[in-house]
Structures are given as structure tokens and as C-alpha cells.
Structure 1
Amino acid sequence: MIARSLRWRLIATGAIAIAAALFAAWFFMTLLFEHHLERRLADELQRDGLKVIAGLSLTPGGALVAQDMPADDRFATPASGLYWQASTARTVLRSRSLWDQALPTSSTASKEQWSERLGAGPFEPRLVLLERRIVLDAGSDPVLVQIGQNADALTSAGREFGRELAYFLVILWLALSGAAWVQVALGLRPLGAIRRAVDRLRQSPTERLAAEGPAEVQPLIDAINALADAREDDLERARRRAADLAHGLKTPLAALAAQSRRARADGAVQAADGLDRAIAAVRGAVESELARTRVAAVRRDAGLSCPARVTAEQVVAVLERTEAGEGLAFDVDLPDTLRLPLAAEDLTELLGAAAENAVRYARRRVRIGGGGGATAVLMVEDDGPGLDEKDAQAALARGARLDESGGQGLGLAIVRDVAEATGGTLALARSDLGGLAIRISWPG
């Protein structure tokens, strides 16, 4: 799931890139800090070396003597890690910190400038040595002046700096990762708005995405709106074609009905019955396609609702005037406060188809009821033959055609299509009146 999420991929990529950049920063900053410490140490050793040189002199006999040496207490503490040494071919002078040891001599020390090298010390494995050869008097032997300090101090300081810097950079990584998360969330917000707009577009063919958006997603918005326009045009074209087909078949069907009546009047009852069955089949197919075309226009919109009782009473008022409905008793048991989440014309389509189906099979009574709450429910019941459990399950199976199930006609197919188009579900059961109970429910 995370691997397929653009949000998490961007956040993870940003966090990894930030971590890599901060690690590189930690490495180079630690390296720079160590070089800075080395330069500072070289400067301090050079100052001590100059003090040592200032205190050196030669006796008339050519012996090397030292006076006024650097006052740092570490020079007087044995094995302190800070040493000085001055040596000629005949004499070696050294700080008390060297005790009975000596600094390693050098054959590469220059007379022009101080040189630095790293080697083993008398009491430590790593010693920084700053050295230079000087000539105190003309004609005298050059004096090798050496100042040494334990290199472990540099390593320890660099290690402490690197550890503290690592703590800081980890905190900085968390802060920058949080900022990257906010940046990704803000950057993807237009896509979330598009997703919600597309969901509204799916529910309502007339909806369109906002015309203006970020430049990066504007081509996507334009393409979706163009697709929606094409879909609505195709849907409208299909409706017109279905209506044209229905009107085009009216005349041939009327002519066939007239031929059936003539055949029946002439005594060809069997032939007339065959014609009537064929005509009924064609009319049923035409009405079915027209109903599905009307259902295609039905849409779910969370902002729409209509009073169930008012619509039910209007539907009943029409059915009571029909030949099949005038002999039936209608019972509308709906609370006045019940509002169903669909447009009034969509509810009329759904309730009309369900009630017409009930009227077709009822013996004496049709009841329309329902209620609200967490789920809005609408029920249409009759006292007809109904459907047994097996036929009801077969009728509701995915891919089943309700107009071919258990003798129930086109009405149930329309009810199912409208219910699904408006976000509801259809269930069939046995009514306590004895017939079929059609139950349509919508989430609250």
C-alpha cells in the first residue's frame, strides 16, 4: 500500500535525500573541524617553538644552553603529552615532561619554515611534531628545535564534536522531514480536490471540475472536463436514439395489433394469440430499454433530498385511477419527517415502478412504509403471490435479470437500477401481507 502511495513515496524520498545530505554535511563538517584543530594546534606549537628558540644560546665553548623556556606547566610534568627538545650534534636539551626519553630526530626539517609531521611519541602512539632547524651564531652547528603534543587530544575533540553534531543533525533531519511532509501534503492538496470533484462528477453527469487550478494539474482538469462533456453528449444521444426507436416502433406495433384483432374476429384465435404474445414481447423490450434510458439520467447527489410521504401520496393518487389500481386499498405509512437522499423525480421513478409492480400482482392491498435513522428505508408490499426465498435470491444475484425472475416484471428491474444509481440497495422478502416486500435502503 505504501509502495503505491505517491504521498509516502515523496515523503520517503525526501527523508532519504535529506538524510544523505545531512550525513555528507556531518562528514565534511567533522573533517573541517579536525583540520581547524590541527591548524590551531600548529599555531600554538609554533608560538611555543619561538619561545624555545628565544631562550636558546651558545656558550663560548659552543655548548647549547636554554633559559626562560615556555611557562606551560605541562612542559614540567612528566609524560604530560606536551614536549620541547633542542638538539645539536653535541648537545640535546629537552623539557622535563620528556623525563629520560627523547623526541625522534628528523632529517627533513627545514631552515626556512616550520614543518609538521605525525609520528610515534615517547609515551603515546601518535604525536604531532612541529620542527625547524635554526642557526644561532654564524659558523655554529644548526639546532633542531622540536615541539610535540599528543595527537589523542585532537582525536578526542573531533570525536566529541562529531557526536554532538550528529545529535543536532538528527533533530534537524526530523524537523526537515516534517517540513517535507507538510510540503508534500500541500502540494498534493489540489489532487485531493480533483478526486472529490471527480467523485461528484461520477455521481452527477452535470458536475464539472473547477475551471481554474494549479498550472501543473490544469491539463488534467481540462481533460477530465472534456471527457465528462463527451460522456454527457453520448448519454443524451443514446436517450434520443432510444426515444426515436420507441416512437418508430409504435406504428408497426399498432398495425400488428389491428391485424391481430381482425384475425381474432375472423376466427383465427390461435394466430391472434401468437401475434398478441409477439406484440407484448416487443413492447416489453421497448419499455425496458426506455426505462433503462431514464434510469441512466438518475444520479446520486448528497445535497439532494425529498419528502417521501408527499411523493408516495402523489404516486398512489395516480395508481388509484388506473384500471388495476381502482379495486385495491392503498396504505401509506410514512412519517412526515422522512426525507430520502435523492431528487424528487428520481424518487417518483423508483416508487412508481415499485408500486406499479405491487399493483400488478396484488389481490386487495398495497402498503408503502419506511423510516429514517442511521439508514433510510422505503418499503412497498402487496398481498399477491410474492416470490419464494429461492426466487428472491436468484433475482438479486449479480448478473440476474429481475424481469425474468419468478414472474415479476419490468418494475423490479427499474427499482433495482434506480436504487443502485442513487446509492441505495434493494432487498426482496416475503411480506407479512403474504406477497412480495420490496425494501430499498440508503445509508444515512
Structure 2
Amino acid sequence: MTRSSLRLRLLGGAAVAIFLALALAGIGISWLFHQHVQRREAADLAKLAEQVVAGLTLDNTNKPVIDPLPSDPNFQSIASGLYWQAITPGGTAQSPSLWDQSLPGSPSEKHVWSSSTVPGPFDEQLTMVSRRIQPDVHSTQVVVRVAKDNDEIREAFREFDQELALSLGLLWLVLSLAAYAQVSLGLRPLHRLRHELDRLRRSPSARLSDRHPQEILPLTRAINALADARETDLARARRRAADLAHSLKTPLAVLSAQSRRANDAGGVVAAAGIDRAIDAMGAALEAELARARAAAARGSVGESAPGEIVDGLLAVIERTEVGEDTAFSVEVDPAIRTPINGTDLAEMLGALIENAVRHARRQVRISSLGEAETLTLRVEDDGPGMNEEAIAKATQRGVRIDESGAGHGLGLAIVRDLAEATEIEFLLGRSSLGGLLAELRWHPQDQAR
């Protein structure tokens, strides 16, 4: 996957969105937990403070007296972390745990219990509740404070935040995997669409199916409409090319007749020049007709038996003048089948065999080779063949073989165009007979996709 991958963009966006959502949720949960614990702690301290208030009286000097004392033993141990204190203008009463220290004042001391976090004695951080108490209508107000060291609370907060972060991290991983499964499932129709587009590329007559989600159907219909227009344009262009080629055959036949008359009248040189021009134009027309057939072959489907096709071709070629003097060796398995229309295969094999016969000294061999993943048809001759430079140029995609000067022009040009149209691998090389080796290869698994 690259940075332009839709899958990567969706997964990256989902991962970032999930992370941000969980981060905000973690902050909120942590804040709510802290607030809850602090409220519970303040409520527990308020209950202890009520024990102090329950025993609160004032002596003659308005000094507070607590009797009985709160029952929690931590109030009796110096610097235990739990303290109480009652303050009036006449004096102060406090827990032994404070020793010679005192609790700090709070600006929020009212007639209801209020809580705050304050720095306390013995370098401690305290959670403290305080309130102004008036024992009776005519007595002095008493400030009652109860505080507790909040080290345990801070430690609980730290442990909770760590466990929360770990839990949210695992949840992020699980949700990211779920997002990956969701994205993969959501993009699966595009995977099927890609295969259908590949079939459309192979066959202009194919169309995308309607078995797609509603969101993709407008796209598939637009592509089908474009394919319809393309097929119509291609058919029109092929018809015009074929009509043009066929319409030129009559003028060429007339020119050929005029050449013969000129030759009979003694214009041998002029007639020879006209014949060469006619031959060149005829070759060009045959090439264009072959390309028109190749264009029509793109999208043709079917299956053929190469053994039967070879036998039919040899029955005709052996009756020709050059075919009578050629020894043919056929080693084609009659059981094999090729995934190509029989007419197209006959066109290619016929051109290859005619090319081999034209350049062979004595022998032409046609054979087949079937392997697990490859099917190969070979046509070989014992002629001069082609050098490596000519083979490299002839097998390069897009090169006009009929203009390469290799001496094997039009026949191989027809085969190459048909092979490219039907997506067959076309290879040239040196035969063990000494001449040219031409191979047609099919990869059924690739074509099945």
C-alpha cells in the first residue's frame, strides 16, 4: 500500500479518530473518577468532623473542649496523617496527631461543610473539610477542621490512570483491527469491480454486472455506457478500415492488368516498377486487414483443438508448390485444447506455417508442449532463421514487424497483432533445426482471472 492507497487512508483516518476519541474519553473518565473519589473522601472526613462537633463545648473562657474525643486511633498518633482542630478567639483544641502544628485556614469556611486541598503540617498535602459551628445562640462561633493526608488518594489516582491508559490502549488496538476488517469488507466490492474491469479490458463486448452495492452502481453504469460508446466507435472504425482496404483491391487489380498490358507492349521496366508498387500496396492492405481481424478477435471467446486445425492447414499447404517440397513433422497432442476461438488460432498457425514453409530448406516441425501452468504451440523450420537483433526487435511490443526488414514480415506481423489482441504470449527464437522457432504460449490461470 502506498500513500495514495484508499485502504491506507481509511485505516489511518479510523486509527487517528479512534485514538482521539479514546484519549478524550480517558481524560473524561479520569476526571470523573478523581471527582468521585474526592467527594467520597470529603464525605468520610465530614463524618469524622461530626464526631468532633458531637463532643464540642465551650468553657468559661470560650475555649473549645471536645469530650468525648473522636474514636479513630490515628488521631492519637503524631503525624499520622489524620487531624482535627477546633478554633475560637478564646483558644484552640486539636488532636494529639498535630503535636505542635496547626491546620491552615480555608477561605471557604462557611456554615456548611466545605472541602479543599491544602498544604499541611509535616510537609503533607491534605484534603480538609471545615465549617463554622455556633453551639448555641449566644455562644462564639467555632471553626472545626478535619484533614487527612491524601498520599493514598494520589497513589490510587496514579494506579487508576495507568490501568485506564493500558485498557484504552488495548481497546484502541481491538477497535483498529475491527476498523481494518470493516474497511476490508467495505472495499471488497471494489476488488470484484477490478476483476470485472479486467474482463472488460480483455473483451470489449463484456459489461460490468449489476451485483454491486448501490453506492457503486452509478459508477458501473457510467463505465458500461462508456464501453458501449467505445465498442461502437471501434466497430465503426474497423468497418471503415476494412471497407477502405477492400475498396482498394479493385483499383489494384486494374493496375495489375495495366501492368501486364504494358509488359506485353514492351514496357518491361515500367511494368516491373508498377508490379513492385502493387505488391507493396497489397502487403499493406493485407496487414491492415489482419489488424482489423485482430481487433475483432479482441473479446472473442471459445475453445479450439490445435491438432485438428494443424491437420486442416497442412491438407491445404501440402498442395501448394512450396508445400509439396517440404517435409512436415506434426507432434501436437490431439487431446489438448486452447482457450481461443478456432478461427483466430487457424489464422495465427496458418501464418506461422506459411512463413516457415517459405523460408525452410526442407523441414518444418509443428509441436505442442503442455505443462502444469503453461500450454505452448511451436512452429520450427530449418531455414536461415533470424539473428538476435532481429528477434529482439520483432518481439518488442509495438514494433511493426512487417517493416523491420527481417525477411519474415507480413506473416509474423499478422500473428503478433492477433497474439496481442487475444493476450497470448508470442516468442521467437532459434530452433534446434537451425531456423526460426515461433511459439504461442497460454497461461490458463492468468486468463481465468
Normalised-by-shorter TM-score class: over 0.9
Find the counterpart in structure 1 of residue 382 from structure 2.
383
2 CA distance for matches of 1:93 and 1:259? 140
Q: CA deviation at 1:39?
A: 1.0
- SS of match in other structure, 2:86: strand
Please list every run of 5 or more consecutive structure 2 residues that lacks an aligned counterpart in the other structure.
Answer: 445-449
AA paired with 1:207?
Answer: A
Change (3 A) 1:377 1:49: same
Is 16-25 or 77-86 further displaced after alignment? 77-86
Find the counterpart in structure 1 of residue 132 from structure 2.
133
2:323 to 322, 325, 335: 325
2:86–2:93 CA contact under 8 A, matched in 1: yes
AA paired with 1:265?
Answer: D
Find the counterpart in structure 1 of residue 362 from structure 2.
364
Find the counterpart in structure 2 of residue 226 from structure 1.
225
Tell me whether 1:104 sits opposite 2:129 in the alignment: no
Find the counterpart in structure 2 of residue 346 from structure 1.
344
2:63–2:92 CA contact under 8 A, matched in 1: no
2 CA distance for matches of 1:229 and 1:300? 13
Q: CA deviation at 1:106?
A: 4.7
AA paired with 2:308?
Answer: V
- SS of match in other structure, 1:119: strand
Tell me whether 1:199 sits opposite 2:198 in the alignment: yes
AA paired with 1:92?
Answer: T
Alignment of 1:295-306 (within 5 A): 295-299=294-298, 305-306=303-304
Alignment of 1:23-172 (within 5 A): 23-59=23-59, 62-106=62-106, 109-110=109-110, 112-172=111-171
Change (3 A) 1:315 1:76: farther
Change (3 A) 1:280 1:63: closer
- SS of match in other structure, 2:132: strand
AA paired with 2:399?
Answer: A
Change (3 A) 1:241 1:322: farther
The CA RMSD measured in Å over matched residues stands at 2.1
Tell me whether 1:10 sits opposite 2:25 in the alignment: no
1 CA distance for matches of 2:254 and 2:130? 124
2 CA distance for matches of 1:304 and 1:286? 28
AA paired with 2:66?
Answer: A
Q: CA deviation at 1:353?
A: 1.4
- SS of match in other structure, 1:337: coil
Find the counterpart in structure 2 of residue 314 from structure 1.
312
Find the counterpart in structure 2 of residue 279 from structure 1.
278
1:3–1:9 CA contact under 8 A, matched in 2: yes
2 CA distance for matches of 1:299 and 1:73? 97
1:231-268 CA distance string (max 9 Å, x none): 21122112211221122112211111111111111121
2 CA distance for matches of 1:376 and 1:281? 36
2:57–2:64 CA contact under 8 A, matched in 1: yes
1:132-171 CA distance string (max 9 Å, x none): 1111133322111001111323222211111111111111
Q: CA deviation at 1:60?
A: 5.3
1:86–1:143 CA contact under 8 A, matched in 2: yes
Q: CA deviation at 1:382?
A: 2.0
Q: CA deviation at 1:186?
A: 1.2
- SS of match in other structure, 2:355: helix
Find the counterpart in structure 1 of residue 447 from structure 2.
none
Change (3 A) 1:7 1:142: same
Find the counterpart in structure 2 of residue 241 from structure 1.
240
- SS of match in other structure, 1:2: coil
1:101-154 CA distance string (max 9 Å, x none): 2212456522x2122232211123321221111111333221110011113232
Find the counterpart in structure 1 of residue 353 from structure 2.
355
Change (3 A) 1:263 1:106: closer
Among all aligned residue pairs of Structure 1 and Structure 2, give the percentage whose two residues are the same amino acid: 50
Give the TM-score, by structure 1 length.
0.93
- Paired residues in the alignment total 442
Q: CA deviation at 1:214?
A: 1.6
1:338–1:371 CA contact under 8 A, matched in 2: no
2 CA distance for matches of 1:351 and 1:71? 110
Give the TM-score, by structure 2 length.
0.92
Please list every run of 5 or more consecutive structure 1 residues that lacks an aligned counterpart in the other structure.
Answer: none
AA paired with 2:100?
Answer: D
2 CA distance for matches of 1:59 and 1:391? 124
2:62–2:89 CA contact under 8 A, matched in 1: no
1:20-77 CA distance string (max 9 Å, x none): 1101111111011111111111111111111211111234564432123332232223
Change (3 A) 1:313 1:144: same
1 CA distance for matches of 2:107 and 2:377? 106
